[in-house]
A and B are shown apart, each in its own frame.
Chain A
Amino acid sequence: MIGPVIGNVISSPVFLKRISVAFAALMLLAAVLAVAASVGETAIPVGTVIDTIANHLWDAGHPVDAIDAGIVWNYRLSRAIVAASCGAALAVSGAVLQALLRNSLADPYLLGISAGASTGAVSIVILGLGAGMLSLSLGAFIGAVAAFAFVTLLALQARRGTGAIILAGIAGSQMFNALTSFIVTKSASAEQARGIMFWLLGNLSGVRWPDVWLALPVAIVGLVVCLWHARALDAFTFGRESAASLGVPVRRVYAILIAAAAMMTAVMVSIVGSIGFVGLVIPHAARFFVGTRHGLVLPLSALIGALFLVCADVISRVIVPGQVLPIGVITALVGAPAFALILCHGRILR
């Protein structure tokens, strides 16, 4: 019974079209990743990048300079893939939260996650919690999860629906941010404070392959979970009650999707710090191109988010010679005007 149904779905023209579009999108992403790996303080030709990747993936045996290969494979490529995963995950989280909470200003950090992560990070770095056993990332992750748990409990206690979640998020964020400031101002040296500041604005410098094997699966699984609920998200267009009357199990969908968004955000923040702007704005950009249906909005948000963050990372590496800027500075600096352009164009087009 199921077999023929799947067969029909797979052979339908809509499905084939989607597969080819998805394939094209992945090719575009791969191309941008390759270019990102070639740009930097030492410019390496894209051909060398491709040869290096081929050598690593299927022992192609192309002759490549060992130092070039090392830069491409160990530093730039892993970094670019983490940037892509991170951009996709943050953008999808933002799109999901905006839909669920019916608030176009919702972003992944609304749930207190970045504030908690920063508290966790400074507890490790400045207070020396965990006595060197815990890494900064793990501390940030624990802090993020703790803050999310706090916000969730607060929201459940209030029991006032979407408004309660937003208010609980604000309360949680403020509290954990205050904790962070308290620790930094009380105990940090100037050097430490600067380092933390840098980390809070997003920092991909230390990223290596182990980070890829965490970020990439989390981004992919998160995207799949959210895509699976795309129609349920559409049903929230006119609010929770309306979604319920359309047959959506509201509480279950809320629990699954908020947990998915929180998980993705917590993992990304703990790897690269809290990069702003992506989760708030990319979903809106996606909606300008494909409308409001989440079957399209989610994958496009993921794609734009990934491309955007890879590019932002490249810019952060090259814009000031000899110095790497925090990526969060670039995302806002480049992203805000770009978004303004889309906004204005969108208004003219429609």
Chain B
Amino acid sequence: MTLELRDIVWSAGFRKIIKNVSLRVEPGEFLGLIGPNGSGKTSLMSVLAGIRPPDQGHAMLAGQDMKKHGRRKLARQIGFVEQQADTTDRLTAREAVALGRTPYLSMLSPWSERDDAIVNRALGDVDMTHMADRFWHTLSGGEKQRVHIARALAQEPKFLLLDEPTNHLDIRHQLGLLELVRELPVTVVAALHDLNHAAMYCDRIAMMRDGELVGIGSPADILTSENLRDVFGVEATIEHGPNGECAVRYHAGMKKDRAA
């Protein structure tokens, strides 16, 4: 099964947020989406998730336009974890994860033992089984994020889309979460802020600037000093390891004209 965008244009009001983006997510990969603030990452993620229909172009799932799939069918293939999704409701972690079964349930197919099993497995996948009965508001940021991912996994998706999943987490939880996501048997697309995380965990990286996709390829291809200067406006050296891995080392003292 494939997930593909063809010549996508998406506007908020009169402002074009996404300009002619084409992109193909390969099955089984971890695709990172990077770009400065306001470059359209979040909008592109929602188009990819089928939540926002594009103004022009086609968002395709399994070779068919998403419009033809219908909401429920999409939700069985694509799990989406938004950037900030909180609630004041008093529900437990398990109940939050159980929401992931929504696209499978109806009057004629009510909650069953199979759904319980899937919820338990999803909780186990994110290592939250021991906290399943804790109330949502008692969970830490990292735990909430893992519950969100478990909810998406309970949808039994082929694609897991994560919009800046490591926001507000400390470094151990950031790395732990990305490690966890990488081990999952799903195709992952994640918008990431930290370029080193992208370098460490992604198979491929797509880079955006001003609503356009300006490059897609392996971390070593995308993360170059020139790209970081042009797209992010920062000076950095890329250090390459023996097995093709790379790391970004930023330089102190940004160029004056960019900082303005």
Query: Is the A/B pair a real complex?
Result: yes
Q: Which A residues form the contact surface with B (CB < 8 A)?
A: 2, 5-6, 9, 12, 14-15, 102, 104, 228, 231-232, 234-235, 237-239, 241-242, 244-249, 287, 291-293, 350
What are 15 A-B contacts defined by CB distance under 8 Å?
A2-B108, A5-B108, A14-B110, A231-B102, A234-B99, A235-B99, A237-B89, A237-B99, A238-B87, A239-B85, A242-B82, A244-B71, A245-B50, A245-B78, A246-B100
Between A9, A245, A350, the greatest number of chain B beta carbons within 10 A of the residue's beta carbon is seen for A245
Taking the complex as formed, is B221 at the interface, i.e. its CB lies under 8 A from any CB of chain A? no
Near A by CB (< 8 A), chain B positions 112-133 give: none
- Distance in angstroms between the alpha carbons of A228 and B88 in the assembled complex: 24
CB pair B99–A9 under 8 Å, yes or no, is: no
Known: A6-B108, A246-B155. A291 touches B95 (CB 8 A): yes
CB pair B75–A245 under 8 Å, yes or no, is: yes
CB pair B95–A292 under 8 Å, yes or no, is: yes
Known: A241-B46, A244-B71. A292 touches B91 (CB 8 A): yes
Between B46, B82, B88, B99, the greatest number of chain A beta carbons within 10 A of the residue's beta carbon is seen for B99
- Distance in angstroms between the alpha carbons of A104 and B86 in the assembled complex: 14
Taking the complex as formed, is B238 at the interface, i.e. its CB lies under 8 A from any CB of chain A? no
Taking the complex as formed, is B23 at the interface, i.e. its CB lies under 8 A from any CB of chain A? no
Give the chain B neighbours of A238 by CB distance below 8 A: 82, 85-87, 96, 99, 148
Taking the complex as formed, is B103 at the interface, i.e. its CB lies under 8 A from any CB of chain A? yes
Taking the complex as formed, is B16 at the interface, i.e. its CB lies under 8 A from any CB of chain A? no
Taking the complex as formed, is B211 at the interface, i.e. its CB lies under 8 A from any CB of chain A? no
Q: Which B residues form the contact surface with A (CB < 8 A)?
A: 46, 49-51, 71-76, 78-80, 82, 85-91, 95-96, 99-100, 102-103, 105, 107-111, 135, 148, 152, 155
Q: How far is the CB of B222 from chain A (nearest CB, A)?
A: 27
How many A-B contacts if CB must be within 8 Å?
A: 80
Give the chain B neighbours of A239 by CB distance below 8 A: 82, 85, 87
Q: How far is the CB of A242 from chain B (nearest CB, A)?
A: 5
A241 contacts which of B72, B78, B85, B108 (Cβ < 8 Å)?
Answer: B85
Give the chain A neighbours of B99 by CB distance below 8 A: 234-235, 237-238, 246
- Distance in angstroms between the alpha carbons of A242 and B85 in the assembled complex: 8
CB pair A247–B71 under 8 Å, yes or no, is: yes
CB pair B102–A246 under 8 Å, yes or no, is: yes
Known: A5-B108, A235-B99. A241 touches B74 (CB 8 A): no
Give the chain B neighbours of A12 by CB distance below 8 A: 110
A247 contacts which of B89, B103, B107 (Cβ < 8 Å)?
Answer: B103
CB pair A237–B71 under 8 Å, yes or no, is: no
CB pair B110–A292 under 8 Å, yes or no, is: no
CB pair B100–A228 under 8 Å, yes or no, is: no
